[in-house]
Chains A and B, each alone.
Chain A
Amino acid sequence: MENLVLQALSGLASASSLFLVASGLTVIFGVSRVVNFAHGSLYMLGAYLAWTLVTSLPRGHLGFWGGVLGAAVLVGLIGLVVEVLLLRRIYRAPELFQLLATFGVVLIVQDLALLTWGAQDLLGPRAPGLRGSTEILGLRFPLYELFLIGVGPVVLGLLWLLFHRTRWGTLVRAATQDREMVGALGVNQRMLFTSVFFLGSLLAGLGGALQLPRESVNLHMDLSIITEAFVVVVVGGLGSLSGAALAALLIGELHAFGILIVPKITLVLVFLVMAIVLVVRPHGLLGKPEAAARGGQGSAEPLVGPAPAALRWAALAAALLAVAVPPFLGDYGISVLTEMAIFVLFAASLHLIMGPGGMASFGHAAYFGLGAYGAALAAQWLGAPMLAGLAIAPVMAGIFGLVFGFFCVRLSGVYSAMLTLAFAQIAWSVAFQWVEVTGGDNGILGVWPDAWAAPKLVYYYLALGLCLGATLLLRRVIHAPFGYALRAQRDSSLRAEAIGIDAFRIRWLGFGLAAAAAGVAGGLFAYGKGSVFPTYMGIPRSVDALLMVLLGGVQTLSGPIVGALAFTGLQEQLVRLTDLWRLVLGCVIVALVLFFPQGLAGAARARWEASRGDA
């Protein structure tokens, strides 16, 4: 009994920490609709800055608490700078484009933190006055954890006062409910967004700084917190502070008690919770359906027409080069091109959902990985030859796409995207955990091509043929009635329904098709690498796909192709050129975002259209 009470208290302390980070994220999202990947980086910076301040200020209460608060304010200012220099310029860009920018910031901060604070984990001092423990029901419990349990509700209360008792807060709440109305009220929207970013970043920094007496400060803090923070925000309901508090409480407690029953649950618990909550409540625990987007919000999606002659010639030339050049390249050049072909298909499959489908996916790697595992498992357990494995890959991915998609496509916007992430993580954890079948994180080895396809060049032509074929097929689908139906439900679900289109069915089948196409890519990747690992369906791989599509431009059909080539090529080159490739890649991404807010292909088209318009 005593143990259970203490377990509950431990859960409360974690919940409180989680809430601090999530509160900042939900405030920012509520107002700006920016999916801020860099929130975890701000959290990490909060911890590092607090370490620097606290260890250099004189010891004692003032030094410690002053350092913690100082770090929070500094991080708030950093967030403000990011907003003013970067995000402010791209609010009008297509949905989720800001995610690309914040991801660039994540990469930059990772390397800057490494350069500034070094690789070794840092241990901050404990909080003065709260070093030890107290007895609760005869068991010892850390004072600092008790303090943290108090901090969560206090911050929640202060935020409540801020939002309900000040004019600024009222505006923020109004903006959370209806962005355009605030603009109409003549409020200085820029100031509002900037100040909200300051507050949200400050909360992230405070969350990080308050971990100082509890956890070591290290370079993995950013990515380890960001997914969980997003889960809390989404489970609570986007933009809802009390929802975030409730979700943090739920996850903290489920976690504390879950590990008593299933010790390995940590890996997947948050995603299980999110999946269940979103299936039952499509807008989270306390979220409200987003106000239907009105006409005039952003620019209308462009037409989809046959490619202009110039583009056709360019594509043909590129295809010819892709066929003619490789025999003159070394094995390595060929394997890079093989990977590029695979990623082109992977990105194109995601684009089908994101562009014409109008749905976002944060978990598209699941289907890439399921394709890879389908091929590898068939090879390992059934002794299937390569072509059979490659045929199984899209089937496996497609089936799971239909199963997961059945739930995901009912939801909208970020909720839908986060549900795809939840399913992807569940699939990932199965691959990770089911050691007897999948080999766990050690993966499945020896998935090499059959003898006839073993030469790198032969395998390249096989991959090129399949990927190019599948990509062109997807393109064809977009031009066919099914693709039009996908766009129809995206443009106006009301009109689609009124002319007999079953939006759910169209989205569902579109999701399944995209999953199967990603499966083809995954199967080819498996044989290309000779091995399969859970990382194939990990979050970083899903993020890569998102980056490719956004970088290329979600509104153009050639966007995913251009994006995949640019991203893969850039990363491949940078990793070989410099140890600081994350810093350089991050800066390049930020620059591209600023100069090409519609993506590379989008910018090319805009330029082309402008030149035609002038003529």
Chain B
Amino acid sequence: MATLEVEGLAKSFGGVRAVQGVSFTVQPGEMLALIGPNGAGKSTCFNMLNGQLRPDAGVVKLLGRPITGLAPRAVWRLGVGRTFQITATFGSMTVLENVQMALLSHQRRLGGLWRPVARMDAAPARALLERLGMAEQAARPCGILAYGDLKRVELAIALANAPKLLLMDEPTAGMAPQERVALMALTAAIARESGIAVLFTEHDMDVVFAHADRILVLDRGALIAEGAPAAVRADPRVREVYLGSGAVTGAH
């Protein structure tokens, strides 16, 4: 069964159709990229998948179960991890505590009033950080972390509830080129290993074509192409959409 099924998703803002009739699926272990020029509706699309926006029409199914219109926290509970275009972490907590929060929430232990977080078992959180190469940063406050590191923290947080689906909005924005490749390679490895479906948007076409199994191209709210990287690269409509930007072949 597909991890994520999207059918006929649509959303308008004040008469402007941001997304119209978008349908696609993501399979377990698959890296699916969602690309398109600025304003194509990528973020709107993304925000409807995890419940931050309520679609006007369409159905979103996770492992066959409709999750359309559920609150983000409910979607998360069903196994959808999320990273943001502009990173969102808890600035007054350390890297380790950030990950611990996700784990505690997953275990529904956030109501605890007595036992200090500091005295709880941090091994699972450490293991996650280890995996993402962030173990040395564990004790540093997120508020002073470099941007690239924050992206990794976000990924660790997103992985904390053993997700079935990972939604990554611009996962490498603001990172140095070598870092981007390393992060996406790591993500792809984790995805395959754990059978996590990954849907990501990305500006950097090198990243997209290097790591995506499949690519969706969105333009003015509608899907205009879908397929393997080579096919999408060759698609004349895609070339037309990106014409002049030169973004299909090179990085920014």
Instruction: List residues of A whose CB falls within 8 A of some B CB.
Output: 295, 300-306, 476-477, 479-482, 484-485, 487-488, 490-492, 494-502, 506
Instruction: Assess the A500–B73 pair: CB atoms within 8 A.
Output: yes
B88 lies within 8 A of A484 (CB): no
- On whether the beta carbons of B106 and A484 are closer than 8 Å, the reply is no
Can you list 23 A-B pairs with a CB-CB distance of less than 8 A? Answer: A300-B144, A301-B91, A301-B143, A303-B93, A303-B141, A479-B118, A480-B114, A481-B104, A481-B120, A482-B111, A484-B101, A484-B117, A485-B101, A485-B105, A488-B90, A488-B93, A495-B88, A498-B72, A498-B73, A498-B88, A499-B76, A500-B161, A501-B110
B192 contacts A by Cβ under 8 Å: no
When chains A and B are docked, how far (Å) is the Cα of A476 from the Cα of B110? 14
| Chain A residue with Cβ nearest B100 | A484
Residue of B76, B116, B161 near A479 (CB, 8 A) is B116
B194 within 8 A of A: no
Q: Which residues of A contact B102 (CB under 8 A)?
A: 499
Establish whether residues A499 and B105, one from each chain, have CB atoms under 8 Å apart when the complex forms. Answer: yes
Can you list the 5 inter-chain pairs with the closest CB atoms, starting with the nearest? A300-B143, A495-B88, A301-B92, A300-B91, A479-B116
| Pair B157/A476 contact, Cβ less than 8 Å | no
Residue-wise, chain B 147-189 has the 8 Å CB interface mask toward A (1 for contact) of 0000000000100110000000000000000000000000000
Q: Collect the chain A residues with CB atoms within 8 Å of residue B89's CB.
A: 491-492, 495
Query: Would B110 and A484 count as touching, CB distance under 8 A?
Result: yes
A480 to B106: give the CA distance in the assembly, Å: 16
Q: What 19 additional pairs, Cβ within 8 angstroms, besides A482-B110, A502-B73? A: A295-B86, A300-B144, A303-B93, A304-B92, A306-B118, A476-B114, A480-B113, A481-B112, A482-B111, A484-B93, A488-B90, A488-B93, A491-B89, A491-B90, A492-B91, A495-B157, A498-B50, A499-B157, A499-B160
On whether the beta carbons of B91 and A485 are closer than 8 Å, the reply is: no
CB contact list, B64-117 vs A, under 8 A: 71-73, 76-77, 82, 84, 86, 88-94, 97, 101-102, 104-106, 109-117
A491 to B89, CA, bound (A): 7
Residues of B within 8 A of A479 (CB): 116-118
Nearest chain A CB to B146 CB, angstrom units: 13
- B101 engages A499 (CB within 8 Å): yes
Contacts of A496 in B (CB 8 A): 90
Interchain CB contact under 8 A, B113 and A487: no
A484 to B118 CA separation, bound complex (whole angstroms): 11
Report the Cα distance A479→B116, complex, angstroms. 5
| Chain B residues within an 8 Å CB radius of A301 | 91-92, 143
Question: Nearest chain-A residue to B119 (Cβ)?
Answer: A479
Look across to chain B and name the residue whose beta carbon is closest to the beta carbon of A490. B92
A494 touches B88 (CB 8 A): yes
Given A498-B72, A499-B160, A502-B73: A487 touches B90 (CB 8 Å cut-off): yes
Q: Quick check: A482 and B112 within 8 Å, CB to CB?
A: yes
Q: Check if A303 sits within 8 Å of B92, measured CB to CB.
A: yes
Q: Which A residues are in CB contact (< 8 Å) with B86?
A: 295
Distance in angstroms between the alpha carbons of A301 and B150 in the assembled complex: 17
Q: How far is the CB of B105 from chain A (nearest CB, A)?
A: 5
Q: For residue A506, which residue of chain B has the nearest CB?
A: B110
For residue B114, which residues in chain A have a CB less than 8 angstroms away from its CB? Answer: 476, 480
Instruction: Choose among B77, B111, B116, B118 the residue with the greatest number of A CB atoms under 10 Å from its CB.
Output: B116
* B143→A477 contact, CB < 8 A: no
A480 engages B105 (CB within 8 Å):
no
